[in-house]
Chains A and B, each alone.
Chain A
Amino acid sequence: MDISPNNLIFHELIGLFAEVSDSTNSSLVGIKGKVVDETRNLLVIGDKKIPKAYSTFIFSIPNNKVKVDGKLLVSRPEDRIKRRLRGGK
């Protein structure tokens, strides 16, 4: 399925361009680059590991920029994608 703002949080994130717009750790704010890996609690942008739960990300998808609260992404990527099938809950 094509990526859109509605399904972004249930979508594969690796390969997207992302920026950390807010974080409780101020030294992480402003980091940008390609998402190269993802674990349950971390998003690896370039060579930096960013904790999802305490950050807000801006993802660039075709035609749009979407701001996402990282708390919504906390889940193992393979489980996160499956959530869509159950109505997003």
Chain B
Amino acid sequence: MPNYYDLNVHSSPECEDPPERLISVAKRCGYTAIAITNHSNLWGEVTGEGVISGIEIVADKISGLKKKIEIYRPKVDVLLVHGGDPKINRAAVENSEVDILAHPSHYFNHVLAKFAAENEVAIEFNLDEIIYTRGVPRVRALSAFQRNLKIARKFDVSMTITSGARSQYDLRAPRELIALAGLFGMSESEAVGALSETPWNIVTRNRKKKRPGYVMDGVELL
């Protein structure tokens, strides 16, 4: 069985539950590790076993986004950008320092996909949106997922599935997320990859960059 990782979980002080509680619940669900990714205005460093340090950067202007990326990039293993705005989405996929573009919603297209593939920015399918909405908003979320999936496949953009949990009760087991991903047409092998392989590649890539002596890919100080 592969190791599963959930790269978008919010904890206290942003939400009620402390990280330790979320981690123990996630372990029971079958995750190897989860990333605590609080929004940048409420960020605090979280470390420990089964935790990947992360952040979700919220910005309303491109210049602010760039500044925040510069500040937080050396501190975290996973850097998400809170998407949903056309300009922010575009700025995020054009920046190779960004790991994941979180919930791009309807504003993801072939142009962004090309940049995302080039800069190795993964796009996120935040299943929170279909769990917590009903009626028209849910239909909209599903159709956006369907469209994004089609574009991501065509341009070979890496994909991640996350729960976007805001409390311990929001965490879903990997099998449940994989089944939910089937709703918008993601195949089982794609979904397993999006929960295990892709997140792990992102984390190892960033941890490698943090090692002392790292200059760039293939160049190392002795």
A residues sitting closer than 8 Å to B (CB atoms) are 5-6, 8-9, 58, 64-69, 71-72, 88
- Looking across the interface, which residue of chain B has its beta carbon closest to that of A6? B215
Cross-chain pairs A/B with CB under 8 angstroms, 8 sampled:
A5-B219, A8-B219, A64-B221, A66-B215, A67-B221, A67-B222, A71-B218, A72-B219
Residues from chain A with Cβ under 8 Å of B215 in the complex: 5-6, 66
Q: Which 3 residue pairs are nearest across A and B when measured between Cβ atoms? A: A69-B218, A65-B222, A67-B220
Q: Are B221 and A66 in contact (CB under 8 A)?
A: yes
Residues from chain A with Cβ under 8 Å of B220 in the complex: 66-68
Q: Are A69 and B219 in contact (CB under 8 A)?
A: yes
Q: How far is the CA of A64 from the CA of B221 in the complex (A)?
A: 7
Q: Is the interface of B mostly helix, strand, loop or mixed?
A: strand
B residues sitting closer than 8 Å to A (CB atoms) are 215-222
Task: For residue B96, give the distance in angstroms from its CB to the closest CB of chain A.
Answer: 10
Residues from chain A with Cβ under 8 Å of B218 in the complex: 68-69, 71-72
Q: How far is the CA of A16 from the CA of B221 in the complex (A)?
A: 16
Residues from chain B with Cβ under 8 Å of A58 in the complex: 222
Residues from chain B with Cβ under 8 Å of A88 in the complex: 216
Residues from chain B with Cβ under 8 Å of A72 in the complex: 217-219
- Looking across the interface, which residue of chain B has its beta carbon closest to that of A70? B218
Q: How far is the CA of A8 from the CA of B220 in the complex (A)?
A: 11
Given contacts A9-B216, A72-B217, 18 further A-B pairs with CB under 8 A are A5-B219, A5-B221, A6-B215, A6-B216, A8-B219, A9-B219, A65-B221, A65-B222, A66-B215, A66-B220, A67-B220, A68-B218, A69-B217, A69-B218, A71-B218, A72-B218, A72-B219, A88-B216
